[in-house]
Amino acid sequence: MAKLNKDSLKTLSFITYFIILFVFWFILSGYLKSLLLFFGLLSVLFVFWMSYRAKALEEDSLPLKIILRLPFYWIWLFKEIFKSGITTTALIWNGKYSPQLISVKASQKNRTGIANYANAITLTPGTVTIEVDKKTFLVHALSKKLSEDLQTDDMNKVITDLDK
Partner 1 sequence: MSYNYIELISLVLLAIGCFFILSGSLGLIKLPDVFSRIHAAGLIDTLGSGFIVLALIVYSGFSLLSLKLLLIPLFLIFTSPVTGHAIALFAHESGYKPKGKNKK
Binding segment (CB under 8 A) for partner 1, from list 6-14, 33-41, 48-56, 120-128: 120-128
The DSSP code for 156 is H
Binding segment (CB under 8 A) for partner 1, from list 1-9, 10-18, 49-57, 75-83: 75-83
Least CB distance from residue 40 to partner 1, whole Å? 14
71 vs 90: CA distance, rounded Å: 29
> Which residues, at least 6 apart from 72, have a Cβ–Cβ distance to it below 8 Å?
none
100 vs 93: CA distance, rounded Å: 19
Print the binding letters for residues 7-36 with partner 1: x by CB under 8 A, - otherwise: --------------------xx-x------
Applying CB under 8 A, which of residues 19, 101, 111, 154 lies at the interface with partner 1?
A: 101
Print the binding letters for residues 76-95 with partner 1: x by CB under 8 A, - otherwise: -xx--xx--x--xx--xx-x
End-to-end Cα distance, the chain: 11
126 vs 89: CA distance, rounded Å: 9
Applying CB under 8 A, which of residues 59, 131, 148, 161 lies at the interface with partner 1?
A: 131
Query: Per-residue DSSP letters for 124-139?
Result: STTEEEEEEETTEEEE
The DSSP code for 109 is S
List contacts with partner 1 (CB under 8 A): 27-28, 30, 74, 77-78, 81-82, 85, 88-89, 92-93, 95, 97-103, 118-120, 122-131, 138, 140, 142
